[in-house]
Structure 1
């Protein structure tokens, strides 16, 4: 199937390397006919600019630090000048200080925790609210966030797990409030993929060791492709009545009891 996103205008955040989940989403989106703009922040901006050249049609990169409210206004203005409207957003933004991960759950203070929640969860609301006028101008659209299932406690994931739980709840409330604008909000709960971000999580190897054996479809920790394809599907018009959903793309691991 081709042309699933023909004519769609998308903002894809969180592309740092060509093994990232967001890169896979951007690549598949372009292959399906979408026009794509990337965003990057801080020291990662240069990485985003560099990896953008590896996409089939190297896109422009806008600076977007979600802790700087003026950046969202600047991005909105840039996209309005470029397209006048926006059909979709991929939210792949997450960060937690080292103190929030790796077994220090009981010791982490609010400053550390608030950073994780602000960047990993509240940013979804900021993006949705800031870019809402452009999506209304398009007649609606789709926001897809990348998630790691927070319905259970994971080894070493600690406060990032709490931040992901907040992301999941935020997505449901956004689905409620943006539904009248025909804007859908869904999450893709990915299985573990060996990205730069994942490698920074203490104990990530524990996921690697068990996931493939328990997932009934198997799981390749080096392959972001299934996640990218799922993002494209949710960005397309093929899910017109699906919102507030968390779609597991994990080989079926989440459904197995043992």
Structure 2
């Protein structure tokens, strides 16, 4: 079996079982454990799995991934209002991080005339700001994750570790009053955590469809978030989140 076919079979087993062990794959594919470890390492760099001691687990839940080309056309009015309010936090001369996502993307159109520094992993944010002459635009490299059209992984993490930002504008697949903030991919969650650590303040941008929605990968607990901007939130959930020191702003869509 050639290397390409072998990696395809590894991913097939991973999708079926949710996890794999080096010793089992070596026996199944009739190759050495060293070869399997090398295959798993390569697949991890592509964001397709997460290595564990003795094996690997799936990077995201089956069927959880949705492409930004779909989500960008959902709750558009709400997302625009959320992004517009978030953009009012940004002052001339500041440095900001804009996360991947269909809500955070909208910030770009409101800041194109500001003399600021923008760091992002989002190819869509890059496209929006690449001709904005007043904006110093920095791109964090990494492995392209096509559902979000964003870059992630160790290259991105190392880049974010070298910078400091006044703000990080964070996206998410869901959040829970009890459990915190979530996305669909473990490697992307790891990258988001480094973004958070590189910023003085973190603002989470989520429309109300994300409320009390859990995904595979936990990004952070509420103490890591300073502001949450949304279009609607229940009183009970608001009270719990605010008890962690998060300031919640609800946009007026009119």
TM-score normalized by the length of structure 1 = 0.40
* Larger Rg computed on CA atoms: 2
Higher relative contact order (CA 8 A, sep 6+): 1
TM-score normalized by the length of structure 2 = 0.40
Is the helix fraction higher in 1 or 2? Answer: 1
